[in-house]
């Protein structure tokens, strides 16, 4: 792709509006991880296990409701589903801000509000997966996904460092005020979208729609293998990192500031990964992405030592690059190979499967580390990253899947029982 054409997706009005709203919203979201961690650990005098319960509550409700969200995103206008989700999340963050700023927050309240936030997320993300292709030309789809990923990465590069400053000089509640305000910008941009009204297939029962989504998901080996892999990585690697990382930072690295810097380097890496995805569109996208993800083992291994902050941050930068590239490629691959009329339902199985055991990972990270040690817990994640990536690369469907830049696919024949279909 020529240099002058890298940003062409932003020239399309609908995608530009979507991008502006989501970029603003995600900047507010980027303040939350550091603020939430130290709100629990410092303001509430909580433990790693307490933080795990809050994070786990949000993810648990997401997993529990995402299939329902996927069905309704294929039934209702996806724009409406996303607007409703933004409104709920805005209210949740505003409520948390009030509780923290008034000093009246309790752990059970944060758990309940986090669960509500996860419920809204469960409807937003399947709808967003299906809406993005409606805002941009097919040939610019990976570019659009890369740009959205880059804006998220840029936000999470600046956000954690800013959140570290906010926590140090003010208090975590201020970060939640900012996040609530950014949802209002997202609502305004989504409201301004003018999207084509595609014809939706006749609605069947909820169970029939859910079953059809399962058939579309389970019939694609490349899809369910990657999702199964993601499930294990989030459970064994990501959950312990998010729960134990702030603890290691507090005890060995200097607290919120260094941990914010480590998270910022992760986001800088994902930004570079997005830039790479703008330029490089491999013919075998999943094979290339899976091979690169071996690098993801680095941060857990170095945090286990623990290595100096600079070394951990460098590993986060490299790991973030691979994830930034993978995220853009993965979204594009799904949107190119799954018909639009079923995309939200099928992607809901992706979201649910990937995050299925993350809540348990959050809850178990603290107790497990108490039994076997923080170092052993983190090292186990690093080892599994390498082993599992090698296993995924052995799957033929992943090695052979080719990218496609043609028009949207016809309705999926494999969703009808007894009807055979093929995929180019």
Q: Return the higher-pLDDT residue of 60 and 85.
A: 85
- Average per-residue pLDDT in the chain? 84
| Whole-number pLDDT of residue 322 | 92
Lowest-confidence region among 192-201, 348-357, 411-420:
411-420
Q: Return the higher-pLDDT residue of 74 and 423.
A: 74
Per the CB < 8 A criterion, the answer to whether 73 and 127 are in contact is yes
Domain ranges of the chain: 10-193+207-403
| Whole-number pLDDT of residue 407 | 52
Q: How far is CA 20 from CA 25, 26, 187, in A?
A: 9, 10, 11
Lowest-confidence region among 7-16, 190-199, 373-382:
190-199
pLDDT band at 415 (very low <50, low <70, confident <90, very high): very low
* The pLDDT of residue 418 is above 50: no
| Whole-number pLDDT of residue 406 | 60
* The pLDDT of residue 321 is above 70: yes
- Taking residues 362-377, what's their average pLDDT? 87
* The pLDDT of residue 410 is above 60: no
- Taking residues 374-390, what's their average pLDDT? 92
| Whole-number pLDDT of residue 149 | 82
| Whole-number pLDDT of residue 360 | 83
Q: From the options 3.40.50.720, 3.40.50.10490, 1.20.1600.10, 1.20.1250.20, give the CATH code of 10-193+207-403.
A: 1.20.1250.20
Tell me, yes or no, if the pTM score tops 0.85.
no
Q: Return the higher-pLDDT residue of 7 and 71.
A: 71
- Taking residues 189-211, what's their average pLDDT? 76
């Amino acid at each position: 792709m020529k240099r002058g054409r890298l940003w062409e997706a932003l020239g399309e009005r609908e995608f530009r509006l979507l991008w502006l709203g989501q970029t603003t919203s995600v900047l507010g979201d980027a303040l939350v991880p550091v603020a939430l961690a130290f709100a629990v650990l410092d303001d509430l005098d909580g433990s790693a296990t307490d933080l795990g319960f809050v994070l786990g509550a949000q993810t648990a409700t997401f997993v529990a409701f995402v299939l329902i969200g996927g069905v309704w995103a294929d039934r209702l206008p996806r724009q409406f589903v996303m607007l409703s989700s933004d409104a709920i999340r805005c209210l949740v963050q505003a409520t948390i801000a009030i509780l923290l700023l008034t000093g009246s927050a309790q752990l059970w309240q944060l758990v309940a509000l986090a669960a509500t936030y996860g419920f809204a997320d469960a409807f937003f993300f399947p709808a967003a997966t299906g809406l993005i292709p409606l805002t941009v030309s097919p040939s610019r789809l990976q570019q659009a996904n890369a740009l959205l990923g880059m804006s998220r990465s840029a936000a999470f590069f600046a956000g954690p460092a800013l959140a570290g400053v906010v926590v140090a000089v003010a208090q975590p509640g201020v970060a939640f005020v900012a996040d609530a305000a950014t949802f209002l910008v997202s609502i305004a941009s989504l409201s301004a979208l003018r999207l084509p009204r595609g014809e939706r297939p006749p609605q069947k029962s909820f169970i029939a729609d859910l079953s059809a989504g399962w058939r579309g998901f389970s019939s694609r080996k490349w899809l369910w293998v990657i999702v199964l892999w993601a499930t294990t990585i989030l459970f064994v690697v990501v959950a312990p990192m998010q729960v134990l990382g702030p603890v290691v930072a507090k005890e060995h690295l200097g607290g919120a500031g260094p941990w914010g810097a480590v998270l910022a380097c992760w986001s800088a890496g994902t930004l570079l990964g997005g830039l790479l995805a703008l330029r490089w569109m491999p013919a075998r996208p999943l094979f290339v992405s899976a091979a690169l993800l071996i690098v993801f083992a680095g941060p857990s291994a170095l945090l286990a030592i623990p290595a100096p902050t600079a070394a951990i941050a460098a590993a986060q930068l490299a790991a973030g690059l691979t994830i930034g590239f993978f995220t853009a490629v993965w979204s594009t691959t799904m949107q190119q190979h799954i018909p639009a009329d079923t995309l939200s339902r099928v992607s809901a199985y992706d979201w649910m499967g990937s995050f299925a055991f993350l809540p348990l990972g959050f809850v178990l990270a603290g107790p497990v580390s108490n039994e076997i040690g923080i170092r052993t817990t983190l090292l186990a994640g690093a080892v599994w990253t390498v082993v599992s990536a090698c296993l995924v690369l052995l799957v033929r469907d992943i090695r052979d899947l080719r990218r496609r830049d043609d028009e949207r696919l016809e309705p999926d024949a494999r969703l009808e029982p007894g009807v055979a279909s093929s995929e180019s």
